[in-house]
Structure 1
Amino acid sequence: MVRAISLQTAPEIKSTPDTIHQAFEDFMSGFEAFKDANDRRLDELESKMGEDVVTREKVERINRAMDAQSRLIDEMHLKKARPQLGRGMSLAASEHKMAFENYIRRGDEQGLRALEEKAISGASDGDGGYLVPDETDTEIGRRLTAISPIRALATVRQVSGAVLKKPFVASGFEAGWVGETATRPETTAPEISELTFPTMELYAMPAASASLLEDAAVDVESWIASEIDTAFAEQEGAAFINGNTAATPKGILSYPTVSDAAWEWGKLGYIATGVDAGFAAAAPSDVLIDTIYALKAGHRQNAHFLMNRKTQGIIRKFKDDDGNYLWQPPAGVGQKASLMGFPVAEAEDMPDVASDAMSVAFGDFAAGYLVVDRTGVRVLRDPYSAKPYVLFYTTKRVGGGVQNFEAVKLIKFGES
């Protein structure tokens, strides 16, 4: 028998092999309790022309508990997916790892300097820091994908330069049918434009004590990766959605928007709920259906909903005409919840439901958004600025922006 989820806090987690599966069972049990309570609330609305306060508070309490449990499962799944670094490395990689470890633990730069001279590398120096080993770089990128919602959905390109330039033809190439012997009319030359995606500097500065660095049992590469991945992912997540300065990637919500009926290239189309700061009282899910079918069929096949947990909590109460809930929980551990058959990605940087807010995005983000990574993560050891601690100034260059304005639609919580 599955245990009911606590309405106050997430259940205590024990380090057993089945913990994550038990947590998922608790989440599913919570969803059943949520449906029962919400059904009772809806029945009260129909029979009494008003909902009972106790019932409404119970629904919201279970809703919050489900969000907390979902967040707990995400954290446990991420920890379980973290591999041990340093296995099966080549001789050169092992040499780099050892030299990097000497630099991190003791500040010994000789090994890394010698390796860079041997490789005739001008990518870094003692003043600008040293590149982390390839294995650590790969692990940081992999964990960023697991944590950062937009990165996990978008197309990611690696570049060695500072800017990625991508040509495009907004109107498409002209084509047509002709007979076997008919003359071929001359087509109009396409107008080619260019999108630019500059990479911006993202940094984190974890601190370590002398005892941690002296402890031979501590894997310093894994420590570096685990310290900076969450910090990088949080900054990336915010920038990929709301970034609007010269120092950040350009976020999805920073582009001009227009009603989808008047959509044009260079702007993102939106569908309005028709109600200021909320969904329509009658048939609130109609705007979701309109948004789904505003997207072209080719993009719809790979589409996701994108919203934060609060917005998801509102939509979780919606039913279709047959009384079925439109939001469905994940089918298994590590999978996404779905809304009307499409997966839901959670991004806490998406705005809450408010007046004229663009709180929900729907689209093929792999086609619509491009993340640009400049190869290499750089670390500079600083034992002086925060004695007795050692700071590690860690930098990475990242860019991003919309590459296809047809592939993403927004829901605007406003009258028009």
Structure 2
Amino acid sequence: MTDEQAGVCAPEVKAADEDVGAAFGAFMNQFEAFKDENEQRLDELKNRGAEDVVTREKLDRISKSMDAQQRLIDELVLKRARPAIGGATSAQMLERKEAFERYVRRGDENDLRTIEAKAMSYGSDPDGGFLVPDEIDTEIGRRLSSLSPIRSIATVRQVSGAVLKKPFAVSGMAVGWVGETAARPQTNTAQLAELSFPTMELYAMPAATASLLEDSAVDIEAWIASEVEIAFAEQESAAFIAGDGVNKPRGLLDYDTVAETAWTWDSIGTVATGSAGALDADAPSDVLIDTIYALKAGYRQNASFVMNRKTQAAIRKIKDADGNYIWQPPATAGARAALMGFPVVEAEDMPDIEADATPIAFGDFRRGYMIVDRTGVRILRDPYSAKPYVLFYTTKRVGGGVQDFDAIKLVKFSA
């Protein structure tokens, strides 16, 4: 099979007429090419004890092409599914929207001050910016859910204060069996832990020219949402995975880890591969099976694998004892790839495979990880600091952390 047949010679992966179906078809063709090349690599290992360098390089090129095609599919699906901002709105919402647009375009804040004074909004702060209209706030939240992988699978709570405190029954609720008329004896006291999720400030500062703001054809709301979404999503994604909790959310990899056989509350259990920096050579998929069943049945029902693309590329090459690939492509465009029947979530901030690293997480992240959003996104217009450009200091407050340590397990590449 030639490189052209494998779809790896083109400098940029494109779909005909940006059609999702065509892009997905190209992805599946590349996966078939990947399997053919990997079969050749496995035959070389079996017959000669070593893989051919040309075969290895070709396999890597196809794998990178698959990643690029998957990113294109994700972008096309998101573009197709994205609704227009606005739509039916009440007179009050329309009034606020128009006042906000006058503030952004011309710096006229009088109407916006009047509206927020009428509403007695807890979040309005004329000296520190104005809350954006609900349409922009919702659109930014929706896009962040699509762009930030952990946000898309974790529990998200909206709060009006600076901290969310949540009691958690570590040992479960205190219960007991009794007869209909029998006395109710006192049960053992439940062991409770108070989990605290403070919100931290996240900001972006997009810049605009005067001509852009004066152009009435430009949808200023869509522009602001598109400018801040990538910046917010990248910072959030990194923090939800590896944040240290100092002026940012605490990531799932920042907590203490312990071997699953010695697991205790306040730590995340790990399952070792048996080989430092690598999977076991004879049975590479066994550690994944052990990790899946280290999770209790109630958590496994909604569990997902989380890893970056490099780790996923290594997992793609693994076959089970029956010769079937343990990684399977998405069944439809927009769906997730599957690993042993569980969806795979790509998070580029997960570490690469190396000695003692934990590049694979598995669990029910809806129950395991909590994201806290303080209501409202605020914008402060600054036409002075970077003349002739106008800066828009956009802030939101976000927190996060593990809420159930029993719901997430990590694969540790160690002996």
The question of a shared fold, defined as TM-score above 0.5 by the shorter chain, is answered with: yes
Question: Quick one: distance in 2 between partners of 1:358 and 1:383?
Answer: 46
C-alpha contact (below 8 Å) 1:3/1:26 kept by paired residues: no
Q: Tell me, what secondary structure is at the counterpart of 1:196?
A: strand
Partner residue of 1:19?
A: 19
**Contact 1:149-1:237 at 8 Å conserved across structures:** yes
2:192 matched to which residue of 1? Answer: 192
Structure 1 distance, partners of 2:71, 2:13, is 12
Match for 2:13: what amino acid? P
The answer to whether the Cα contact below 8 Å between 2:176 and 2:187 also exists between their aligned partners in 1 is no
CA pair 354-130 structure 1, distance change in 2 beyond 3 A: same
Q: 1:277 to 1:7 in 2, by over 3 A?
A: farther
Give the structure 1 partner of residue 142 of structure 2.
142
Which residue identity is paired with 1:135? E
Deviation (angstroms), 1:152 = 0.2
Give the superposition deviation at 1:42: 0.4
**Hey, what does 1:405 align to over in structure 2?**
405
Once the 2 structures are TM-superposed, how far is the Cα of residue 179 of structure 1 from its aligned partner?
A: 5.2
> Deviation at 1:120?
1.9
Which residues in structure 2 correspond to 1:9-408 (within 5 Å)? 9-13=11-15, 16=17, 19-178=19-178, 184-408=184-408
The amino acid that maps onto 2:283 is: A
Name the amino acid aligned to 1:198. Answer: P
Distance in 2 between residues matched to 1:106 and 1:42, nearest whole Å: 65
Residues in 1 aligned to 2:221 and 2:27: alpha-carbon distance in whole angstroms: 34
- Name the CA distance, whole Å, in 2 between partners of 1:180 and 1:198: 45
Farther-moved stretch of structure 1 (377-386 vs 175-184) = 175-184
Instruction: Give the distance between the partners of 1:397 and 1:20, measured in 2 at CA.
Output: 35
Asked if the contact 2:13/2:68 (under 8 Å) is kept, the reply is no
CA distance in 2, matches of 1:76, 1:82: 10
1:43 counterpart SS class: helix
Q: Deviations over 1:240-267 (max 9, x none)?
A: 0000042000100000000000001110
Local SS of the residue matching 1:126? coil
| 1:355-403 residue CA offsets vs partner (Å, 9 max, x unmatched) | 1111000000000000000000000000111111110000000000000
Aligned-pair distance for 1:412? 0.4
| CA distance in 2: counterparts of 1:391 and 1:180, whole angstroms | 69
Unaligned runs of 5+ in 2: none
* Cα distance in 2, alignment partners of residues 177 and 375 from structure 1: 43
- What code does the residue aligned with 1:10 have? E
Aligned length: 412
The alignment's TM-score, normalised by the length of structure 2, stands at 0.96
Post-superposition offset of 1:60: 1.0
Q: Does structure 1 conserve the Cα–Cα contact (< 8 Å) formed by 2:14 and 2:72?
A: no
Query: Does the 8 A contact of 1:308 with 1:349 survive in 2?
Result: yes
- Secondary structure of the residue aligned to 2:359 is strand
| Distance change >3 Å, CA 31–CA 178, structure 1 → 2 | same
Question: Deviation of residue 13 (structure 1)?
Answer: 4.5
Compute the displacement of 1:182 (Å). Answer: 5.8
Cα pair distance change 1:185/1:66, threshold 3 Å? same
Partner Cα separation in structure 2 for residue 114 and residue 155 of structure 1: 36
> Following TM superposition, by how much is the alpha carbon of 1:238 offset from its aligned partner in structure 2, in angstroms?
0.2
**Structure 1 pair 196–49 and aligned structure 2 pair: CA distance change class (3 A):** same
Structure 1: gaps of 5 or more residues = none
1:155 CA displacement:
0.5
Alignment-mate amino acid for residue 223 of structure 2: W
Q: What one-letter code is carried by the residue in structure 2 that aligns with 1:358? A: T
CA distance in 1 between counterparts of 2:381 and 2:229 reads 18
Tell me the distance in 1 between the aligned counterparts of 2:159 and 2:268.
Answer: 27
Contact between 2:170 and 2:265, CA under 8 Å: does it hold in 1? Answer: yes
Are the counterparts in 2 of residues 149 and 345 from structure 1 also a CA contact under 8 Å? yes
Name the CA distance, whole Å, in 2 between partners of 1:345 and 1:66.
15
SS in 2 for 1:141: helix
Length-normalised TM-score, structure 1: 0.96
8 Å contact 1:9–1:65 — kept in the other structure?
A: no
**Which amino acid is the alignment partner of residue 42 of structure 1?**
L
Q: Report if aligned partners of 1:7, 1:62 keep a CA contact under 8 Å in 2.
A: no
Work out the CA distance in 2 between the residues paired with 1:161 and 1:387. Answer: 35
CA deviation digits over 1:341-361, x for unaligned, max 9? 000000000000011111000
Tell me the distance in 1 between the aligned counterparts of 2:106 and 2:321. Answer: 67
Distance of 2:200 and 2:388 partners within structure 1: 31
RMSD: 1.6
**CA–CA distance in structure 2, aligned partners of residues 152 and 270 of structure 1:** 23
**Residues 8 and 61, structure 2, Cα contact 8 Å, conserved in 1:** no
Q: Which amino acid aligns with 2:340?
A: M
SS at match of 2:158: strand
- What SS is found at the alignment partner of 1:292? helix
CA distance in 1, matches of 2:341, 2:90: 45
